[in-house]
A and B are shown apart, each in its own frame.
Chain A
Amino acid sequence: MKGNKAMHIGLALGAVVAAAAAPVPAVAQDYKLGLVTFLSGGAAGPFGIPARNAGELIVDAINAGKVPAPYASKGIAGRTIQPVWVDEAGGPSKQVTEYRALVQKQGVDAVIGYISSGDCLALAPVTEELKKLTIFFDCGTPRVFEERPYTYLFRTGPTALMDSLGAARYILAQNPGVAKVNGINQNYAWGQDSWNDFIASLQKLKPGVQVGTSQMPKIFAGQYSAEISALQLQNAAFIHSSFWGGDMESFVQQGRARGLLDKQVAILTTGETAMFRIPEQIPEGTVIGGRGPYGVFAPDNALNKWFREQYFNRFNTWPTYPSYKMAQAILGLKAAAEKAMAKNPKPAEADVIAALEHLSFEAPSGTVKMAIGKGHQAVQEMVYGRFKLQGGKPAIVNVVRYPAECVNPPDGVTSEQWIKQGFPGAKCN
């Protein structure tokens, strides 16, 4: 009887292992691409789904050979892309499990993904352990490549430092006499980092600028009456806010109603996503950013025109910055694979990695330079402007474009050091 029991357990275990070990057959020529973004949860609406849409659009267009030059050839190095979508929900530990399943079970050729900085930090060492070409497309924390170099890991989107530094440079250019600023940011990693980098940069660029008050409500609070009162007590020229999505829109509406935003100018570092949704709520002159040269800030080039048109036709809405960043991650991979073909007509993973290092490639957002993090971290230009209703339509005026070298540290210097040293090597013209 006891033997029976042990046998049952053994059989059950064996069955599980056998079922699990059976590999998923992949068509040899296909390029199996793991694509990870939020498909459910609070971050899906504003970030995950726009990124997913862009991913589907670009993958379909690449497979059909319909992307304009220089991406007109079909597939990645001639191989048709077979996308494998995974939900980013569940937190970093869950994502480590899913990443391992993607690489070790499904046998993908590369992984592109990750919006949450926590997920990126957790996954970075795992990419190295599993030795799989991986591209982070959106997460913003500068910590990834500043903590250590990576061989298999790339990030084709710029870090969040340039949002904060760009905002500091912009308001100093707009109002050189600024003496005091306020802040309202969410009390979690993104909000804390954004505010710290912003105020440190501003005080380095113009010593003596005072902080009126820095409000740190918790994320998804939605109701800011106490914070607005506190902000109203400190009469500052600007209010810095890295709020995003629904929190930002709530703050703008409530701040407007209380008269706060007529007296103090808000700097909305992610304001671009709201300007078409609640245009009549945003006061004119509000400083608006879009996390880089995306959306309304994207340059006027053929690739961008094609991307916007295709995206609007298919999804009936304009692409926002996560869409742009997903698009440029896939295009970056394609650019690297094609460059690698010069050496090896059927490029292996190592060839693609070598080609992607220090690569400059074109995207709907302009030129992306894999300039820092030993050629693994992208830099791009940063754009800020001010909101204005022109003939009843939302528009951006006083646009200033900061070159990549003006708002990103040189290779080998961490963001924190660079701010502390007063931005040596910054080229702003």
Chain B
Amino acid sequence: MRTDPGTRGFLIAAAVLLAAGPFLPKWLSYIATISLGYALVVAGVVLLMRAGLVSFGQGLYFCLGGYAVGAAGKYWNLGDAFVLLAAAVAVSVAVAALLGLLLARYREIFFAMFTMAFSMILYGLLSKSQALGSTDGFNVSHATFLGYAPVALQGWLYAAAVVLSMAVAIALQRYLRSGMGYAGDAIRENEIRVEYLGISVYRVVYLKYLVAAGLGGLGGGLAALASGHVGPDMAYWTTSGEFVFVALLGGTQHIAAAFAASFLFELIKTYAFELSPYTWQMMLGVVLLAIILFLPSGLWSLVARGREALR
């Protein structure tokens, strides 16, 4: 099989990340794990953005994935990380299959507002449900890996996150280079033409919405396993807004941008918290504003520029 440069890049990245894992300071490998989780959600946002759709409600699936992992451990004593993550994806995709029927009809601000509304409904429901800990949420029990319960859980989670997210990234990158992947870009440019080409726009959008939801669920599940806690704020609109922001920060040209931007965003936040506990919001804002001002098409434009220069 011919490996394209994108796939090779991700394979190299996976190898480097896995090899570097044991040498990373623990707090950094934790941030890496969390940001891989977030990056998967962001990749879903990017997927929709390329089709011209801005979802302000990916927090819905992020939260569903997290709660699926938490609840499966809490009520059914499921502990295997891969089973839990599969459950997270299944729940998210099942809900998206229903909501997508409606949402795939809408575009632009209407799509954005509807997606946000659905995630806020989940937020409201969870805040009122006392069995699930209301606004306090609840803790997620420690995961096992194919029957093995590691003592150094964090390292295993990091490795699992790297392998899973890089595998997903490779699949996504290939999907974006496929006919159906490019259909998204075509829809963004001109829906009517796409219909004339004999492609059902509704079906393409619906499918992309499902994929984005699955990514959201997987990301939420990973984040829940890593942080050990889920709460309704995962579905709050500011969480969704952060995903959109990180997507813009990275740029939509390449799936790898989502991963880089997500890691950078978490890192900046941590340093801002540490360096200026009273004005971290301002510091974060200034840094992000600067990135947007100087790199309007996202971090990935640096890579694109670099390639131009090398050519």
Contacts and interface: CB of A to CB of B under 8 A. Distances in A.
B7 interface: no
A51 to B, nearest CB: 14
Given A9-B12, A92-B227, A122-B229, A100 B26 contact: yes
Given A117-B136, A121-B229, A20 B25 contact: yes
Contacts of B65: none
Interface residues of B, number: 48
Interface stretch (B41-49, B159-167, B194-202, B273-281): B273-281
Interface string A111-150: 0000001100110111001000000000001010001000
Most buried by B among A10, A39, A118, A124: A118
B295 to A, nearest CB: 15
Interface string A182-200: 0000011110100010000
B134 A192 contact: yes
Nearest to A37: B277
Top 8 nearest A-B pairs (CB, nearest first) are A122-B229, A188-B135, A104-B27, A189-B134, A189-B136, A93-B227, A118-B136, A85-B277
12 contacts: A4-B310, A21-B24, A21-B28, A86-B277, A91-B231, A91-B233, A92-B231, A93-B231, A97-B27, A101-B270, A121-B136, A192-B130
Interface in B145-179: 153-154
B228 interface: yes
A105 interface: yes
Contact of B13 (A9, A40, A103, A121): A9
Contact of A122 (B26, B28, B137, B306): B137
A427 to B, nearest CB: 30
A138 to B, nearest CB: 14
A contact face: mostly helix, strand, loop, or mixed: helix
Given A87-B278, A91-B231, A125-B139, A17 B310 contact: no
Given A101-B270, A104-B27, A92 B137 contact: yes
B231 A97 contact: no
Given A17-B24, A86-B277, A122-B231, A97 B139 contact: no
B20 A17 contact: yes
B16 interface: yes
A101 B27 contact: yes
B191 interface: no
B233 to A, nearest CB: 5
B228 A125 contact: yes
